[in-house]
Amino acid sequence: MEFLIAFVVLAGGMDLFGYSTMNIMQERLPCEAGRKGGHKIRNPHGTPVEDAVEKLRHDLYYTKNISLFLDVRILVETIKVMLFERVARLGGVMKTGACCMGVVFLICCMCLTAMAGAYVIGDEDVLQISVWGNQELSVTVPVRPDGKISVPLLGDVQATGVTPQELKIKLEQGLSKFVKAPVVSVMVTAINSFKVYVFGEGVSRTAAAGGGSSTSAGVITLRKNTTLIQLLAQLGSLKNADLKNAYLLRAGQKLPVDFVQLVARGDISQDIELASNDVIYVPDNYDQRIRVTGAVRTPVILPFSEGMTALDAVLSAGGFTEFASQNSVVVVRKDGDTVKNIEVKVKDVMNGNINKNLFLQPGDIVMVHSNIF
């Protein structure tokens, strides 16, 4: 039962243990020791209803969002009380003490995990700073390009690079010189700092990002955690992308991501979660496209696809004209510094002799000769 209660406490359900058994509860400063906002509304003692409602709103936000460390301390003390009192009655102090320490270790691991995933404030984010009982000190401010915010009484305060919890502590420490026991809440009301940069001619010119349209070759503001494949899906068609030479740059270093495996072969193991200020370069594959010329109905330049054959290229160009020499198709292929001319009897292939078909390689030129001369 204690383990079930422990998880409820971490979720913010502090009322299960009450406030009369532990002095540590007095550290919750949104209201007097042992009293929450809802109790003050029922027993206002002269407090205006509006103030009581504001107190309750702040208490609820504090309990749900920014009281992790205090909740852990309360939880540890509660488990110690419950378990060791039972031990005293049962005479098994050492056994239950070891159990208690195991629970404490588990809670600490959960706490560190939560800290690792905390949101870090960035430039252009919008913050709502609330100081309970001091509305004139409560402001909604954007984070400037220099990473600072302007706060009444404190002036410029560094916000970029810290979590809302860390900023809350910093503001409370600063305001304590002017306000007795200040209680501050920091809420991120707009996330504008999660930006990634996409450049290169291998992506379509427009893309949907974050629910709206934006130019893909440029800055994309993300509104939630996004993986590389999710971003590429937003960029539209990648048929002109040179996936072999595409790369992801983070903090000046290329990450070992194989775009060919990820996009062309669906290897999800190559997918990674993007971080703010990541740079994605997707070059154009113009030199890898297939050119189809000569006696075809529609000479065309095609994006290369694995498995493409000479017959595929001819059919994609509309097929032969009436003057085409269908068994006189030449594939011009560059191999290093040399150029090869490979003859393909496409008419025989169309008649069922598929062994005479030829798999194309990036950059091949398919030439269909005419039989006019």
Residue identified by tokens 């002109």 is 240
Among the candidates 190, 220, 242, a domain finishes at 190
C-alpha–C-alpha distance, residues 193 and 121, integer Å: 8
Same domain, 240 and 264: yes
Residue 155's CB is within 10 A of a number of other CB atoms, namely 10
371 or 187, greater pLDDT: 187
pTM: 0.57
The pLDDT assigned to 192 comes to 87
Same domain, 109 and 15: yes
Q: Which of 21, 5, 24, 23 is nearest to 13 (CA)?
A: 5
pLDDT band at 77 (very low <50, low <70, confident <90, very high): low
Same domain, 244 and 296: no
pLDDT band at 106 (very low <50, low <70, confident <90, very high): low
The pLDDT tens digits of the residues spanning 159-172 come to: 999 999 999 999 99
The pLDDT tens digits of the residues spanning 169-218 come to: 999 999 999 988 899 999 999 888 889 999 888 876 444 334 444 445 68
pLDDT reading at 346 higher than 70: yes
Same domain, 39 and 137: no
Find the CATH number of the domain harbouring 350.
3.10.560.10
The pLDDT assigned to 235 comes to 84
The pLDDT assigned to 45 comes to 47
pLDDT reading at 111 higher than 90: no
What's the total number of domains in the chain? Answer: 4
One-character DSSP codes across 209-268: ETTEEEESSEEEE-SS--BHHHHHHHT---TTB-GGG-EEEETTEE----HIIIIIS--G
Same domain, 312 and 365: yes
Find the CATH number of the domain harbouring 264.
3.10.560
Helices 68-90 and 93-116 cross at an angle (nearest 10°) of 170
Q: Which of 69, 62, 100, 179 is nearest to 171 (CA)?
A: 179
The pLDDT assigned to 212 comes to 41
pLDDT reading at 42 higher than 70: no
C-alpha–C-alpha distance, residues 276 and 197, integer Å: 9
Among the candidates 281, 314, 343, a domain finishes at 281
The strand pairing partners of 197, in sequence order, are 219, 279
Domain for residue 121, yes or no?
A: no
Domain for residue 178, yes or no?
A: yes
7 or 232, greater pLDDT: 232
Same domain, 112 and 10: yes
Task: Out of 192-206, 210-224, 229-243, 279-293, give the one with best mean pLDDT.
Answer: 279-293
Same domain, 11 and 112: yes
- 173: domain range? 126-190
pLDDT reading at 41 higher than 60: no
Among the candidates 249, 264, 281, a domain finishes at 281
Same domain, 62 and 131: no
The pLDDT tens digits of the residues spanning 293-337 come to: 999 999 999 989 889 999 999 999 999 999 999 999 999 999 888
54 or 105, greater pLDDT: 54
C-alpha–C-alpha distance, residues 220 and 198, integer Å: 7
Domain for residue 334, yes or no?
A: yes
Domain for residue 169, yes or no?
A: yes
The pLDDT assigned to 217 comes to 61
Helices and strands, counts by H and E, the chain: 10, 17
Same domain, 19 and 100: yes
Same domain, 9 and 82: yes
The pLDDT assigned to 311 comes to 94
Same domain, 139 and 243: no
Same domain, 111 and 165: no
Find the CATH number of the domain harbouring 184.
3.30.1950.10
335 or 255, greater pLDDT: 255
- HSE toward the beta carbon, residue 184, CA cutoff 13 A: 27
pLDDT reading at 246 higher than 80: yes
C-alpha–C-alpha distance, residues 199 and 247, integer Å: 11
